[in-house]
Amino acid sequence: MALNIHIYPKREEWDALLRRPTKDAAELEAAVGEVLRTVREGGDKALRELEWRFDHVRLQDLEVSQQEMDEALETVSPELLGAMELAHRNIETFHRAQAFKGERQRVTDGVVCWQKSIAIEKVGLYVPGGTAPLFSTVLMLATPARTAGCREIVLCTPPGRDGHVNPAILAAAKVAGVRRIMKLGGAQAIAAMAYGTESVPKVYKILGPGNQYVTCAKQMVSMAGVAIDMPAGPSEVMVLADEGGNPAFVAADLLSQAEHGVDSQVLLLTTSESMARKVADEVESRLPLLPRRETAAQSLANSRLIVLRSDEEMMEMANLYAPEHLIIETQNYMELAEKVVNAGSVFLGSLTPESAGDYASGTNHTLPTNGHATAYSGVNLDTFCRKVTFQHIDEKGIASIGRAVELMAEAEGLEAHAGAMRLRRERTEGTKTEGA
């Protein structure tokens, strides 16, 4: 296969070059809406029927038992368990450092306000099944949820046809400290966590990646008031490289994104035409060696290797695209890092592949795709918390702001708002007069 190399594209071609595939959601919404209704009305019974229909499995207990958990742990190699524990520690370290310490602010004389970060009490985590058991996602969601202090954490993941959950997923749940695991996939899992059933607790926020049904279900329940992490889309990487980079490293980074799925988005921006050609050659020679070469080849057919004239153009295009993952493999990577405005997670230098952050460096791999990095953060400790504001006002504070509050309330035609302050002002002024 030949990769698409675009040399010095004109500015008016940029939008077309950066265009992502779009899908019509209407048909999807009808199908997902039907699943949501079925679960809301039918509870556990409906869940069992839907698991038969979609995951082809007959379940009695929807929840993973202690015995299943114990058995799973025995089948996972000590080496893999050790790797999971290392990843868990690093994720915990990085997310724990994000803890918010709200300080009391004396906003003006007699007015003290502060924020307190409080964990969301009940969260639901979704971990997809599918061709590969994505146990790393368990760590990326459950470890920060536990670090934040969420009281109730429920995890849904689809079982195999044998009725069991992949052992690596259960092992990761054990490492991250999740106790309640439900054998549920797809839109029915999201519905169960949004509405609650006999077995599945209703939660306040649902997080995690998934296919288009899961994503649509999350967005639909968010309209009914359940919070979600972010809208999801196909995974993406954009690599920035100059003539001094290592074409083998760059090619490996592009391939590791391409193997995710046929709709993965893979882009290289470079100021060096020879680098673009070397990377294309490396990709083509390495591709046939990959087990997932067919998936990667389809994704690479839509990839773009774009040669630009300057670092400024590279950063402008990167910020316009707002990639989920941005790898900056140039000599001046710290300088370019300062110019990042729109990206989910940024990987700096030639020894920082995306796969480090996908698994074990400590950063989260649940990130905004599809250009949503313009407005959304990736999952972080704040994703599992709310900031509640507190305020306390004393006599001096009433004197500082009381009159302004009354004037503004009156001008908005809200006399009772003005009255609630006026009453305090008159009493405290009275006190002061009496005291004087």
In angstroms, give the least distance from the CB of 109 to a copy of itself: 11
Q: What is residue 241's DSSP assignment?
A: E
247-258 helix and 273-286 helix, angle to the nearest 10 degrees: 60
Q: Pick the stretch among 140-148, 181-189, 257-265, 271-279 that binds a copy of itself (CB under 8 A).
A: 257-265
**Under the criterion CB under 8 A, does residue 324 sit at the interface with a copy of itself?**
no
**Under the criterion CB under 8 A, does residue 393 sit at the interface with a copy of itself?**
yes
The correct pick among 259, 313, 324, 329 for binding a copy of itself (CB under 8 A) is: 259
**Under the criterion CB under 8 A, does residue 115 sit at the interface with a copy of itself?**
yes
Radius of gyration of the chain from its Cα atoms, rounded to whole angstroms: 26
Q: In the window 76-105, what residues touch a copy of itself (CB under 8 A)?
A: 79-80, 82-84, 86-87, 89-90, 93-94, 97-98, 103, 105
Cα gap 428→403, rounded to integer Å: 13
Asked whether 393 and 110 are in contact (CB, 8 A), the reply is yes
**Under the criterion CB under 8 A, does residue 72 sit at the interface with a copy of itself?**
no
Number of CB atoms found within 10 A of residue 387's CB = 12
Q: Pick the stretch among 40-48, 60-68, 182-190, 288-296 that binds a copy of itself (CB under 8 A).
A: 288-296
Cα gap 194→418, rounded to integer Å: 40
Q: Where do we find the tokens 């790898």?
A: 327
In angstroms, give the least distance from the CB of 45 to a copy of itself: 24
Give the SS3 label for residue 112: strand
**Under the criterion CB under 8 A, does residue 371 sit at the interface with a copy of itself?**
yes
The correct pick among 231, 263, 273, 316 for binding a copy of itself (CB under 8 A) is: 231
**Under the criterion CB under 8 A, does residue 263 sit at the interface with a copy of itself?**
no
Q: In the window 31-60, what residues touch a copy of itself (CB under 8 A)?
A: none
**Under the criterion CB under 8 A, does residue 399 sit at the interface with a copy of itself?**
no
Quick one: 249 or 321, whose CB is closer to a copy of itself? 249
- Angle at the Cα of 135 from the Cα atoms of 162 and 89, rounded to 5 degrees: 145
Binding mask of the shown chain, residues 403 to 432, with x at each position contacting a copy of itself by CB under 8 A: xxx-xxx-xxxxxxxxxxx-xx---x----
Give me the catalytic one of 68, 259, 324, 354. 324
The correct pick among 296, 300, 306, 318 for binding a copy of itself (CB under 8 A) is: 296
The correct pick among 4, 65, 75, 108 for binding a copy of itself (CB under 8 A) is: 108
In angstroms, give the least distance from the CB of 17 to a copy of itself: 19
State yes or no: is 426 an active-site residue: no
* Range list of β-strands (E), 92-215: 105-108, 111-119, 122-126, 152-157, 180-183, 205-207
Task: Render 386-427 in DSSP notation, one character per residue.
Answer: EEEEEEEE-HHHHHHHHHHHHHHHHHTT-HHHHHHHHHHHHH
State yes or no: is 324 an active-site residue: yes
**Under the criterion CB under 8 A, does residue 170 sit at the interface with a copy of itself?**
no
- Angle at the Cα of 134 from the Cα atoms of 195 and 282, rounded to 5 degrees: 140
Q: Please state whether beta strands 236-241 and 325-329 pair in parallel, antiparallel, or not at all (unpaired).
A: parallel
Cα gap 388→32, rounded to integer Å: 34
Q: How many of the chain's residues bind a copy of itself (CB under 8 A)?
A: 127
Give the SS3 label for residue 350: coil
Asked whether 147 and 175 are in contact (CB, 8 A), the reply is no
* CA-wise closest residue to 199 among 69, 60, 296: 60
Q: In the window 187-226, what residues touch a copy of itself (CB under 8 A)?
A: 204-205, 219-220, 222-223, 225-226
Q: Please state whether beta strands 227-228 and 205-207 pair in parallel, antiparallel, or not at all (unpaired).
A: parallel
**Under the criterion CB under 8 A, does residue 355 sit at the interface with a copy of itself?**
yes
The correct pick among 107, 179, 212, 284 for binding a copy of itself (CB under 8 A) is: 107
Q: What is residue 327's DSSP assignment?
A: E
**Under the criterion CB under 8 A, does residue 337 sit at the interface with a copy of itself?**
yes
In angstroms, give the least distance from the CB of 142 to a copy of itself: 15
**Under the criterion CB under 8 A, does residue 229 sit at the interface with a copy of itself?**
no
Q: Pick the stretch among 63-71, 193-201, 303-311, 355-363 that binds a copy of itself (CB under 8 A).
A: 355-363
Give me the catalytic one of 88, 260, 325, 365. 325
Helices (H), 149-272: 167-176, 186-195, 212-223, 247-258
Active site amino acids: 324-325
